[in-house]
Each structure stands twice: as C-alpha cells, then as structure tokens.
Amino acid sequence: MNILLLSLQSLFSNIVAAFSLLGSIWFFVLPPIFYYLFLELWLDHVGGRYASGVKYVLLEIVSPREIEKSPKLMESVFSGMAGVLKNYNTYEEYVEGMFMPAFSLEIASGSGSVHFYVRTPAVFRNLVEANFFAQYPDMEITEVADYVNDVPGTIPNDKYELWGSDFELTKPDLYPIKTYKFFEEDVTGKMIDPLAGIIEVVGKLPPGQTMWIQWIITPAPSSWYKKGMETVDVFLGKEKKEKKGILAGLWEDLADVLRNLVKAFLAAPEFEKTKKDEKQEQPLEFRLSPGQKDVLKALESNLGKQMYKVKMRIVYFGLREGFTKTFVSMITGALSQFSDQNLNGFKAEATSKTQADFLFVTERLRFLQRRIFARYVSRDRTPSEKQFLLSVEELATIFHPPDLSVMAPALTRVMAKRGTAPANLPILED
C-alpha cells in the first residue's frame, strides 16, 4: 500500500513539474502548435466574409433548335472563361480572404423537363455570355430565378426521399475520360452526342421526381503542370528523386564514411567491376505496347490543355410513393460511357454517398442526405480534397448544347433563329 501511495505521489510530482516547466517555456512551444489551427480558422473567417459579398446570377442556356456543331466549340468557351484566373497577393488572400471565383454548370430535370444552367458571379456575366454567343450565335441565354428555391428547404422529410453523392475520378487527374472524339462512328464519321444518354435518363423522370447534376468549376493555375508531369513520369516508370536537406545529406555522407571505414579494417578493399556486356536500354517507342502508346499520347495531350478544378455531385429526390433507385442505376450507367479502363472515369465518392450500415443507420443516413442536399443548394466546393481536375476538352464533353440528334421531347430549345437587323433600315429623326 505504501508503495502505491509513493508511486501516486511521484506521478503527481512529475505532472506538477511538467506544468511548471511548460509555464516557463510556453511562448516557445505553443505558438508553433496553434499557428496552423489559427491560420485555418482565420482563412475560413475571412473567406466566408468575402464570399458573402459576391453576388451570383443563374443563367439558363437554351440551345438552338437545329444545332449541328461539335462539342469542340465548348473548349473555346471554357478557355475564354478561364480569363478570370488571377494570382492573389498575400494581403488579398490572408487579409481580404479573396479566392478564385467558381462557375457552376448544372443540368436540372423536374418532372421530365430538362434545363441547362450556368451559375456565375454577376461581375463575370458578360464574360460568360460573350464566350457562348461567340460560338453559338443562335443560343438564348436568360437570367432566371434559382430553381433550388422551388423545392422544400430541407430534404428528405416526411414527403420527400433523396439519394445523392459527390463523384470522383477512378485514376489520377491527368488521365482523361473518354471525350467527344471517341463518340464517332467508324463508317459514317458521324458523332454520337455524349450527352444523349444523360438527357434521356433525366428526361424519363415521372411527375414528382427530380434529378440535379452539378459541376462546380474553378480555373486551375499553371502550378498543376508539375503534378501532371509527375503522373507522366510514374507511367513511364521513371524513378522520382527525393530532395534531401543539407543536414540529411551531411548525415548520409558521414554514415557512408564510417561504414566504409569499418569495412576497410575488417576486409581487403574491393574495386567495382566493369560490366562489359551491359545491354543498352531500348528506345521508348519499342518498350511500350500499342495500348500504352495511346495512353501516353492521351496524357501528354491533356497536359497541354487548360485545366479546371471540379466538384461534381448528383442528387435525385422526389415524392416517396414514386421514388425508386432505378434512376440512380440509370444515371450511373449513363456516366459509365465516359469511362475507359486504360484511361479514366467517374465513380461515386464513398464518404459522401447517402448510404449507412450497422449502427444508427437512420440517423446517419438522414444526416448524409441533408448534408449533400444543402451542399448542392449552396454550391459548396467542400471538401476541397475531393475536387479533381478536368481539361477544357473533358468539360466540353460532359456539358455542351446537345445537337439535333438528341430528340428528347423534354429538352428545351430555341424555337426561332436569331437574326441581325438589316443594314439599310431608315433612321427616323425627331
């Protein structure tokens, strides 16, 4: 018993001594520990303040009735929208809380009616419209009320059920998905619109059922190029050289000297043998299979394009009596047309998917459902680590005005062509 009391007394004495020591040196220890926590909270605060002052407008994109243009034109649209790219200085980023503006590309279907939207900061509305009209002069772009306000603010509830998920890529960002260039018939050369499958699925929704698809895009700075080159190097099997600090290098050299010094006392010196019959490495074009050459070509092609950071999510909700996850299987099946086992594809992200098992299933499922619905409505880009990169060619594939081959009756189109006024109109003077 006395031993136990002495042990406890010693423990408390050590704790008191530790706190006493911490009280003497806290100004050296605590600031580095709490710096990153403070920085995270501060950036969240000033970023929220800046975001609250940004006004957004929702533009409905209505494509012409007879459009025969390739999705390639949308590459120019997205390249032009990347003009908002800006490098913020330290004051703007850490004091003003400024961050890169985001656009939201959205396809919304309610009771079988399909609409295309672009949500943009109001200050960049002219930029968006100018780039669309430059490629699609007959297009109609109209500012509309936000459609997310037409449904209850909290879903699911007693009346509505919901399924939703963020999406991610199956491979590293540089690997491209199947773009519109793959959707071309070998015989006739005619392109099959990549959006046809998606529009048919969302256009089949019965009354009382709704599906929203969202891509929140932000132009990526040129620093992504280095990461892309690392992906190419990994594909080619190049060894990545780790950068060593000065102290690490000195320690490695010292250890090498000591190790060889010990060997010198214990054994006779050995000299490196020259390899007379060393085989020369074959050129790259002979070492890669035809399939690998195609993948390398796709990687390097994607490397040279403007990239966007993308947050992708889908929500499907509706009246409980008509709600069925058959439409979930249909939309994921439609997205699979962009997948290639050698390249890339989309898949539902596990932590955001509205699915729960084992403990507190109902409560956890309800939390996931309401969280992803709220994130869609607010066009939230978090969690940022789940964003991925898509090139302008990939974006043009998944979001563009559907061509005339898409005959879905639910798709809204411009009924008349736009024309300019005659040049010889008389001018009336007062």
Quote the pLDDT of residue 170.
93
Q: What is the pLDDT along the chain (430 residues), one digit of tens a residue?
A: 677 777 777 777 777 776 676 667 666 666 777 777 888 888 888 888 888 888 999 999 998 776 767 788 999 999 999 989 888 888 888 888 888 889 999 999 887 688 999 999 999 999 999 999 999 888 899 999 999 999 998 999 999 999 999 999 999 999 999 998 888 776 666 778 888 889 888 888 888 999 999 999 999 988 888 888 888 888 887 766 666 556 666 667 667 766 666 666 666 656 555 555 545 566 666 677 888 888 888 898 888 899 999 999 999 999 999 899 999 999 999 999 999 999 999 999 988 989 888 888 889 999 999 999 999 999 998 887 789 999 999 999 999 988 766 655 556 656 555 555 555 556 555 5
Say if pTM beats, i.e. exceeds, 0.85.
Answer: no
Quote the pLDDT of residue 48.
85
Quote the pLDDT of residue 279.
53
Quote the pLDDT of residue 190.
75
| Cα–Cα distance for residue pair 354/103, rounded to 1 Å | 25
Quote the pLDDT of residue 410.
59
Quote the pLDDT of residue 193.
84
